[in-house]
A = this chain, B = another copy of it.
Amino acid sequence: MKLIIAIVQDEDAPGLIEDLTEEEYRVTKLASTGGFLKSGNTTLLIGVEDEQVDNVLNIIEDTCKTREITTSLMTVTMPGDTYIPYPLDVKIGGATIFILDVEKYIRV
């Protein structure tokens, strides 16, 4: 038995939890951090059999992998307060994953 602790972006958490529960994995969501850390994280606890670890890692990677999106920020570029949309590539997503060995796992 392993305990997977996955720290993911708040935006990615609902989709990840849905994907995991669809495949019958049991997920516990810990409330996310206060505001003073950069952007909101969600910490998930996922208890899995040893042979399920790779599948869960694949699911996390599919949903949460760091990816680049192009966003449009408005910037002042001209006299007369004309705003021109300026395309910008930003990185979103990403996950930090710890896998711990579980000595004993019990459900009552």
Residues of chain A whose beta carbon lies under 8 Å from any beta carbon of chain B: 1-3, 5, 7, 14, 17, 26-34, 36-37, 41, 43, 45, 47, 53, 57, 60-61, 64-66, 94-108
- A-B contacts besides A31-B32, A95-B108, 9 pairs, CB < 8 Å: A3-B100, A14-B36, A17-B37, A28-B43, A28-B96, A60-B108, A94-B107, A99-B105, A100-B101
Asked if A108 and B28 sit within 8 Å, CB to CB, the answer is no
Nearest first, the 8 closest Cβ-Cβ pairs linking A and B are: A31-B31, A99-B104, A29-B33, A97-B106, A61-B108, A99-B103, A65-B108, A95-B108
Q: In the complex, how many angstroms separate the beta carbon of A97 from the nearest chain B beta carbon?
A: 4
